[in-house]
């Protein structure tokens, strides 16, 4: 009976070892297969376009000084009306033009009077134009000399008074640009797969990226560069 028990135990042990060996081989093959499926390549696809701004914001600013506050207000109103009339003569609509309240500074209210300051009051006025007529605005800016003849000295185009150009129609070109960036990424991936003696598989993961809109250059801020970089990960097959 002792011998039969030992033989049974030996056989059982042999079956267990064989089972474990087969299980280990099966798991190893599965891991190798999974590892083979996880061969991937990550690439970036670029799409760029140049577009023209469809919205422009033009702040027209001028300053006026006087020692009499009432006279200053009258002069400011007259010159403001002339600026508005100038814009309307160029072909802009009234609803595109807005006038802010003048900023009045009393130079003697600060307690210290600079002897070189000739006028006590100084007014700063801004007439703003918000328009979709970008070409008309570009043409009108070249005619500001007409305001100078009216005694209106327009402030220089510094950071606060520079004309701002916007492109607000991104949705109209977004689908085509995403497709272009995806196609560009695929071409890069196919080249990589060919160089590595592999076959390009399906997309594992895709990230669209963020659209950026910037000026093409400082001389033509009304021309915008739209850019997107997409990141895609492809499977590689033998």
For the chain, give every domain's residue range.
Answer: 1-38, 39-54+167-238, 55-166
Residue 212 belongs to what H/E stretch? strand 212-215
* Three-class DSSP category at 10: helix
Terminal CA-CA length for the chain:
58
- Adjacent-strand bridge partners of 130: 57
DSSP annotation string for 117-185? ---SEEEEEEEEEEES-HHHHHHHHTTTHHHHTTT--BPP--TTT--EEE---HHHHHHHHHHHHHHHH
* Fold of the 55-166 domain: Alpha-Beta Plaits (3.30.70)
CA dist., res. 117 & res. 82, Å (int): 27
The two structure tokens encoding residue 57: 């914001």
CB distance 40 to 233 below 8 Å: yes
pTM, entire model: 0.76
- Give pLDDT, residue 154: 86
Instruction: List the chain pLDDT tens, one digit each, 238 residues.
Output: 555 555 555 545 554 555 455 544 544 444 444 444 578 889 999 999 999 999 999 999 999 999 999 999 999 999 999 999 999 999 999 999 999 989 999 888 766 666 777 888 999 999 999 999 999 999 999 998 889 888 888 877 666 678 999 999 999 999 999 999 999 999 999 999 998 888 999 999 998 889 999 999 989 999 999 999 999 999 998 7
The two structure tokens encoding residue 34: 């999974």
For 39-54+167-238, the fitting CATH number among 3.40.718.10, 3.30.110.170, 3.40.228.10, 3.40.50.9100 is 3.30.110.170
- Give pLDDT, residue 129: 97
- Adjacent-strand bridge partners of 97: 129
CA dist., res. 56 & res. 163, Å (int): 7
């Amino acid at each position: 009976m002792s011998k039969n028990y030992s033989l049974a135990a030996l056989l059982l042990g042999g079956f267990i070892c064989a089972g474990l060996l087969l299980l280990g081989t099966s798991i190893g093959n599965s891991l190798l297969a999974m590892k083979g499926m996880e061969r991937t390549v990550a690439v970036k696809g670029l799409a760029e376009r140049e577009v023209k701004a469809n919205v422009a914001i033009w702040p027209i600013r001028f300053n006026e000084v006087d020692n009499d506050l009432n006279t200053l207000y009258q002069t400011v109103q007259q010159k403001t009306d002339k600026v508005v009339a100038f814009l309307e003569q160029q072909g802009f609509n009234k609803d595109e033009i807005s006038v802010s309240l003048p900023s009045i500074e009393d130079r003697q209210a600060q307690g210290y009077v600079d002897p070189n300051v000739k006028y006590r009051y100084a007014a700063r006025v801004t007439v703003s134009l918000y328009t979709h007529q970008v070409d008309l605005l570009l043409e009108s800016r070249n005619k500001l000399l007409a305001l100078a003849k009216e005694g209106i000295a327009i402030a220089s185009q510094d950071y606060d008074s520079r004309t701002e150009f916007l492109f607000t129609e991104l949705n109209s070109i977004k689908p085509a640009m995403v497709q272009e960036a995806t196609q560009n990424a695929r071409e890069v991936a196919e080249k990589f797969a060919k160089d590595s003696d592999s076959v390009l598989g399906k997309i594992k993961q895709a990230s669209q990226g963020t659209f950026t809109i910037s000026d093409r250059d400082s001389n033509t801020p009304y021309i915008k560069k739209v850019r997107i970089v997409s990141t895609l990960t492809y499977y590689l097959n033998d």
